[in-house]
Structure 1
Amino acid sequence: MSITSSAALAAIIDHTILRPDTTEADIDQFCAEALQWKFASVCVNPLNIPRVAAALRGSPVKTCSVIGFPLGATPTDVKRREVEWVTAQGASEVDMVISIGTLKSVGAGPIGEEVAVLKAACGDVLLKVIFETALLTDQEIVAASLAAKAAGADFVKTSTGFTQKGASVEAVALMRRTVGPKIGVSASGGIRSFIEAMAMIEAGSNRIGTSRGVALMREAHF
């Protein structure tokens, strides 16, 4: 993917605020920034979805909710009910977290089954699948990527940003090689500079999840 303008960069940034101490004032600020810079989405925890959806209504900026965040260690039916609730409240994108322990214990089969259930619950709402690549082997990343793709995921995504390491260029490149060109790859977690974001894009990412979207834009030079 080639990014040649600040507008093109802004259009792939998921402006993300998932801190446990996030206030309503923080949410309002992130929504205002997303509207100003024309970011792809504002990504928040489920309870903040109604406020974000109201702030962004009528704009091209999407309302994105995380599901099973940050560990993914909840039953599929609970995640499905989360999806149903956030989409009813106005979420137009959903970022689900897989169960890493399940993947490591029994393989990618149950991951694919869960993605299929949540994709059905999403309907037309875009679904990203978060892997936590820093905790996985290359073989596990490949297996999870193939399972998510086969189950109908719209994106595979590197990280929650809540473990010891976020996205890496190597993981993004591996995911892109594995899923091919027809579904998205999102780099998220630990991306703090324009240079880092551009490296992820060069490796094959076509979304950037970051809490530092405004700082990235101010650093951008095209």
Structure 2
Amino acid sequence: MFGLILFGIGITLLVRAELGAAPWDVFHTGVSELTGISTGWVIVITGVLLLLLWIPLRERPGLGTILNAIVIGVVFDITSPIIGDHELLLIRWPMMVGGVVIVAIGSGFYIGAGLGPGPRDGLMTGLAKQSFAGRSISIRAGRTFVELVVLVIGIGLGGAIGIGTLAFMFGIGPLVQIFLPRLTMSAVSPTRPVQGAAR
């Protein structure tokens, strides 16, 4: 729970910095702009709908999966008005960098708990288990494909893209790699592949 709350705060900082959101959150903010539904609720609804896609992929959710689908979006909606809007880049740049770091720390806590991947991660690992034209795809390829698709759709919907998007895409993996071994519970292998950084 602590990790998911941190994750939600980090996402809020990234979005509120208005320098570009993470790929999935470009999609979430785009859908929010289009529908008028709060970004937090879009995060929750997307997470629940993605769990339905787990059925044909034969993925099994854990307690952490269900909590992930709900908590991050709720935290976003609670913290977004508290963090508020800021015009000064002197404030927005630290918000962006801090957001990426806090998401990485949150990822280390919730992945390290070993209670199940997030809905978006399960979609990627599920795709990696499938065979397409007799060939399987790697988790990295599955993740890249899914994130590029949602990023393009999010841009088309008017989602928040910018330098923060690049900072997240290139920074989150190495940062999670740093924090995950230090935050992993002893019953969970710290050498398992990093799969939870994108929710």
Superposed pair shares fold, TM > 0.5: no
Structure number having the greater helix percentage = 2
State the TM-score, normalizing by the size of structure 2: 0.29
State the TM-score, normalizing by the size of structure 1: 0.27
By relative contact order (CA 8 Å, sep 6+), the higher-ranking structure is: 2
Structure number having the greater strand percentage = 1
